[in-house]
Amino acid sequence: MSTKNKKVMVVGGGIAGLTAAWELSRFNIDVELIEKTPFLGGYAIQYCCKATDECRQCGACTVEAMLKNVVNEPKIKVHLATDVEKINNSGRFSVDLKKSSYQPVSATEGVIRGYSKNNSPLHVIVDKEKCEENPDAVPEGAVELDTMGFSGKLDVDAVILASGFQPFDAEQKGTYGYKKFPNVVTGMDLERIIRENATVVRPSDGKAAQKIAFIQCVGSRDENLGNLWCSQVCCPYALRMAETIKHKNADAEISIFYMDIQNVGKNYAEFYEKCKTDFRFVRNIPVDVFPMENDSLSMRYMNEEDGLCINEEFDLLVLSVGIMPGPDNNDLSGIFDVGLNEDGFFAGIDKLNSTSTLKGGIFLAGTVAGPKDIAASMAHAGQAASEVIKHLGVS
């Protein structure tokens, strides 16, 4: 069958959406890629490379490569700062799009920047007044957020939902003092710190952190929060991150506080054994964090050797936050009439086909359907693309 006029909408421009769009374009399918923020790449583009003297297969570089593929592919039309408003299903899907209501969470400057040099535009003006105060600081080619976004209609033959996840909001675990104490950061924050500084620095003073603690399972596997799932990515990202830090600074003292290590992924068993010689693993989840005068953090936990509680000081505390359902899942579930599972992720037909939904023509890719790392998101997106191709009768 001819692929002429076949068109697919992909919702979400993170690694799953990028991969799905790219895979579809390989079959000559036209893709409309909708992204609510002003930048492609999602969370994955914000991650730093975790290579030591060898590649750790974290996948961060593949995101950059995929983003570049997509922006250079004429069959993929990208709509930044755009939301889906409604959709009608009458054979084809008729979709109403609108400018997204996206606002940056914390823009201290008037301009925000994409994480990839392949982002176009790379700089977006979010606060005109601030920019007018200091026009020299506005980079060339910067685009006003107000002028971005697409309002209008599209007709498409299928939809892939790839709207992703949100990192756990660590403020909900109040005793850790996230956002109260500057040197308590999340794994996500640490990715950005390393990407921006090429090394681990303390947010409070910009100095190198020597003594670092990671706390695992923050927000995951938690009945109190209603988040019973394992996020799967936090053990690998924390240990890879710790190895990266250790590789750059052999004197760094790193402690991993955990309940059990989810030993998943290629070569992970071997990698974990190496980690055991490089860091201290403490099988205890700490609870109380107290700020010290020098902005260090004193943490109380039980020492397993003698069963006594001790207070230990750290320069930096990293909370390994998990993968939570995307903030728009409820809205999108209503718009597309596709159900969520009990955890709040989108529900596939079954475990063996987690990319198809009960709604014909609507498919799922990536963390929208549950926790995944970069590689698994890409594989899932590839599977979604092939289900779409089957559905459309394209070959």
Partner 1 sequence: MAEEAIKLGGKRKSTFLDKVKEILPDGGNLNLCLTCGACSSGCPATGLADMDPRKFLRMAALGMDEEVTKSPWVWMCTGCQRCIYVCPMKIDIPQLVYEARATWPREERPKGILGSCDMALRNDSGSAMGTSEDDFKFVVEDVLEEYQEAQPEFKDMQAPIDKQGAEFFLNQNSREPVTEPDEMPPLWKILHLVGADWTYGSKGWGGENYCMFLADNDSWEHVTRIAAKQADDLGCKVFLNTE
Minimum separation from the CB atom of position 223 to partner 1 (A): 5
CB 92 within 8 A of CB 108: no
Residue 286 touching partner 1 (CB under 8 A) = yes
Tokens of 101: 């209501």
Is 171 a binding residue for partner 1 by CB under 8 A? The answer is no
Sole residue written with tokens 């003092």: 177
Q: Determine the distance from the C-alpha atom of residue 123 to the mean position of all C-alpha atoms in its chain, rounded to a whole number.
A: 20
Q: Which of residues 185-224 bind partner 1 (CB under 8 A)?
A: 217, 221-224
Q: Which is nearer to partner 1, 118 or 216 (CB)?
A: 216
Q: Which two tokens stand for residue 300?
A: 């109380």
DSSP string, 273-284: HHHHHHSEEE--
Q: What is the CA radius of gyration of the chain?
A: 22
List 300, 312, 386, 391, residue binding partner 1 (CB under 8 A): 300
Q: Given the complex with partner 1, which of 124 and 217 has the nearer CB atom?
A: 217
**Residues sharing a CB contact under 8 Å with residue 29, sequence separation 6 or more, in sequence order:** 3, 6, 7, 8, 75, 388, 389, 392, 394
Binding of partner 1 by 342 (CB under 8 A): no
- Among 1, 105, 250, 308, the residue binding partner 1 under the rule CB under 8 A is 308
Give the helix/strand (H/E) hosting 82: strand 82-90
**Residue 192 CB-density burial (10 A; 0-12 exposed, 13-18 middle, 19+ buried):** middle
Q: Is 140 in the site for partner 1 (CB under 8 A)?
A: no
Counting contacts by CB under 8 A, is residue 301 touching partner 1? yes
Interface with partner 1 (CB under 8 A), residue from 55, 198, 259, 349: 259
96 vs 343 by CB, closer to partner 1:
343
Question: Least Å distance between CB 177 and partner 1?
Answer: 14
Which position among 307, 342, 350, 351 is part of the footprint of partner 1 (CB under 8 A)?
Answer: 307
**CB-CB contact of 50 with 240 (8 Å):** yes
- By CB under 8 A, tell whether 263 contacts partner 1: no
Asked if 251 is part of the footprint of partner 1 (rule: CB under 8 A), the reply reads: no
Residues making contact with partner 1 (CB under 8 A)? 175, 217, 221-225, 259-260, 283-288, 300-302, 304, 306-309
